[in-house]
Amino acid sequence: MASIQAVRGTRDILPEEIGYWQQVETIARDILARAAFKEIRTPIFEQTDLFERGIGEATDVVGKEMYTFLDKGDRSNTLRPEGTAGVVRSYIEQKLHAQGGVQRLWYMGPMFRYERPQAGRQRQFHQLGLEMLGSADVRADVESIALAVDILKAVGLDELVLEMNSLGTKADRVQYRETLVNYLRPYQADLDPDSQDRLTRNPLRILDSKAAKTQEILQDAPLLGNSLSDESQTRFEKVKGLLSDLGITYKLNPKLVRGLDYYSHTAFEFQSVQFGAVGGGGRYDGLVSELGGPETAAIGWAIGLERLIGLLQQLQPKPESQADFYLVSRGEQAEAQALKMAQQLRQAGFKAELDLSGSAFGKQFKRADRSGAAACLILGDAEAENQQVQLKWLGTGEQSEMAQTDLLGQLDELRSAIAAVRA
């Protein structure tokens, strides 16, 4: 029988890779907590309607990439392709707005898009995202971007390029859409098929096209920036000024439009050479009211964790979590005592790895060496008989025998000795 494989576009995150994930999560959790952001966990599937209305039916995400299914009651549900719509649904349904002030939320979890899998692009992938609801202030734009920059720097990625654009208001975009379509129409036949399709459905997305001929046509296209009202332009100037005040460098990209329909004003992406955008976001002032909530200004971003970690893996050695003690034992009595000692050490805050193989001491010692533990604790028949234990420091090979109670009576000394070994 053929063996069952993971579904195309999904993958296992194995223990050897998990250190990166945990490291990123710990860093992000810490940075976001210091900025008073709170974690939110919303369901991984929602009513299909939420995404259709929230993300926009003309987008690729809704039009082509959603995992949509009917449940047994014939209701249409969809695996979330992104996190913002669910957070906004929750914000409205749970009346988080009634608490007043700004809601600062973050989340991390799997998202699902039926895309063509390739390096850095999967059908199940993970995002770390942040949403800040209830402030139209330019400082909210800058605060949220600065936190993304802090997280990316803290994990060790500082070569990403922050690209910025302003998408203005809805009225600005309606005007620009017309200007752009008027410009492109004479070239319609020369555009790539996707862009031809977008000319009526979602013309702004044509700016994102990678097709060479389309790019060439776009070279002289009118820019969205020139269609922005004075107010929108002033707003963007303020955002840029405050970013510079914080020492955050960025590159203007007048063709950056984002792939989801809910954006207005500030839009940004963190670009890498290898995977394209590692993260992106922007302001979405109309989304809460669009989905039935009160008028609420909001901004947020999401970072793709597979892309982020893919880059980290090339830059940094694997973060490993190594045991303090590796317990080697042989013989019934010794094995029982080692089990107990491992538990006592764990309860005292040490990391203790217990060898369960029952194999010859030589084999267990080899595994102890490979484990990266600071020290090995050895119990054989003789030690078990006398309630003794051998303590061997794996770095130096230094070994001593002591009563088990003595070992457990000098935990502070052991802690310092292990810290010294690790330093």
Give the annotated binding-site residues.
82-84, 113, 127, 131, 258, 262-263
Structure tokens at 25: 């999560």
Smallest distance, Å, CB 2 to ligand HAM? 27
Smallest distance, Å, CB 232 to ligand HAM? 18
Q: Contacts with ligand HAM: how many residues (CB under 6 A)?
A: 27
Smallest distance, Å, CB 126 to ligand HAM? 8
Q: Is 144 a residue that touches ligand HAM (CB under 6 A)?
A: no
Binding piece for ligand HAM, criterion CB under 6 A, among 10-18, 76-84, 92-100, 172-180? 76-84
Phi, psi (degrees; rounded to nearest 5) at 44: -85, -5
Please say which residue, 44 or 339, places its beta carbon nearer to ligand HAM: 44
- Contact code string over 271-310 relative to ligand HAM, x by CB under 6 A: ------xxxxxx-x---------------xxx-x-xx---
57 sits in the region (left: phi over 0; alpha: psi -120 to 50; else beta) called: alpha
Three-state secondary structure call for residue 174: helix
Please say which residue, 225 or 282, places its beta carbon nearer to ligand HAM: 282
C-alpha span between 294 and 288 (Å, rounded): 7
Nearest to 85 by CA among 380, 300, 246, 268: 300
Nearest residue to ligand HAM by CB is 304
C-alpha span between 224 and 132 (Å, rounded): 25
Could you say which residues in the range 44-63 bind ligand HAM, by CB under 6 A?
none
178 sits in the region (left: phi over 0; alpha: psi -120 to 50; else beta) called: alpha
Q: Is 184 a residue that touches ligand HAM (CB under 6 A)?
A: no
Please say which residue, 105 or 184, places its beta carbon nearer to ligand HAM: 105
- Contact code string over 236-275 relative to ligand HAM, x by CB under 6 A: -----------------------xx---------------
Q: Is 82 a residue that touches ligand HAM (CB under 6 A)?
A: yes
Task: Say if CB 295 and CB 280 are below 8 A apart.
Answer: no
Please say which residue, 82 or 172, places its beta carbon nearer to ligand HAM: 82
How far, CA to CA in Å, does 14 sit from each of 11, 17, 21, 312, 379?
9, 6, 10, 16, 32
Task: Say if CB 275 and CB 157 are below 8 A apart.
Answer: no
DSSP bridge pairs for 96: none
Cα torsion 255, 256, 259, 264 to 10°: value is: -110
C-alpha span between 23 and 25 (Å, rounded): 5
Please say which residue, 208 or 306, places its beta carbon nearer to ligand HAM: 306
Smallest distance, Å, CB 400 to ligand HAM? 52
Residues that constitute the known binding site for L-histidine: 82-84, 113, 127, 131, 258, 262-263
Could you say which residues in the range 112-131 bind ligand HAM, by CB under 6 A?
113, 115, 120-122, 125, 127, 129, 131
Listed in sequence order, the residues at least 6 apart from 279 whose beta carbon sits closer than 8 Å to its beta carbon are 148, 152, 269, 270, 301, 302, 303, 304, 308
Smallest distance, Å, CB 188 to ligand HAM? 28
Which residues of this chain interact with ligand HAM, rule CB under 6 A? 82-84, 113, 115, 120-122, 125, 127, 129, 131, 259-260, 277-282, 284, 300-302, 304, 306-307
